[in-house]
Amino acid sequence: MTMIEVLVALAISVIVIGASTQFFVLSNGSALSGRRQVSALALAQSQIEKVRQQVKQYGFGTLGMSSVPAKAGADTDTSNPTDFENTAATTWEVQENYDAPGIPLLTEPLITGGTITPIQTITGSDGVVAKVYTFVSQATDICQVGLPASVCTAAGVTTASNMDVRRVVVAVVLNAPTGQTQNGGPNKPQYLTTLITNPVPSAQINNVTGLRIGLNVS
């Protein structure tokens, strides 16, 4: 064993350890990002379930935002969900892909006067802190989006003005991880969206047939 061999071996070891370290750093960062993505998803799911529960408990009329946060940036800025509002913060752009926004699929009026807090700071069960945005917009009547007219007219409600279909968009923006130096993604808001309809269609001639027992007396 010569000095040259030892030196070469040491050099190889350094290279290997360096490369491996990079791999592990990458792996660790990716794992952290994955965990945070799961956390963001859990928060988004939880928020949608809360909204559903609220509708069940307090009625469809409460399904609206208590206020609308101001638009924060440009339409192309995907880091802040409020950017999909218009300047007056009265409408919402429904995007096919919120990460890479293009021409909106639809532009819908935001619904206020409800009890949904639009921005909440929530700490997940795993300690991840996030801002949870909840937007409620008046969806275009589902009858006007391609369903057979015979079905819609048979049901009796076809207008978009009844506000019976509301789109709920939840966006979760995670705070930067504390005490971490590596990539703490996801860096973009995580979105979940669904539609919630009025249990008692407003076009009913008499909509007081509900047999809701256990509801708050109002």
Is 148 one of the binding residues for another protein (CB under 8 A)? yes
In angstroms, give the least distance from the CB of 169 to another protein. Answer: 7
Which of 70, 88, 122, 147 binds another protein (CB under 8 A)? It is 147
Number of chain positions touching another protein (CB under 8 A):
87
In angstroms, give the least distance from the CB of 121 to another protein. Answer: 20
| Interaction residues for another protein, span 192-211 (CB under 8 A) | 192-201, 203-211
**What CA–CA distances, in Å, run from 12 to 18, 180, 198?**
10, 30, 68
| Interaction residues for another protein, span 6-45 (CB under 8 A) | 6, 8-9, 12-13, 15-17, 19-20, 23-24, 26-28, 30-31, 33-35, 37-38, 41, 44-45
Q: How many CA atoms lie within 13 A of 201 on its CB side?
A: 14
Is 183 one of the binding residues for another protein (CB under 8 A)? no
DSSP 74: -
Spatial CB neighbours of 193, under 8 Å, sequence gap ≥ 6: 167, 168, 169, 170
In angstroms, give the least distance from the CB of 9 to another protein. Answer: 4
| Interaction residues for another protein, span 64-93 (CB under 8 A) | none
In angstroms, give the least distance from the CB of 136 to another protein. Answer: 13
Is 100 one of the binding residues for another protein (CB under 8 A)? yes
| Interaction residues for another protein, span 112-141 (CB under 8 A) | 115
**What CA–CA distances, in Å, run from 148 to 52, 143, 160, 165, 197?**
28, 8, 16, 17, 19
Judge whether 65 and 136 are in contact, CB under 8 Å: yes
Return the number of the residue (90 or 207) whose C-beta is nearest another protein. Answer: 207
DSSP 87: T
**Binding track over 155-174 against another protein, x by CB under 8 A:** xxx------xx-x-x-----
Cα–Cα dist 37/98, whole Å: 16
Nearest to 63 by CA among 132, 134, 161, 119: 134
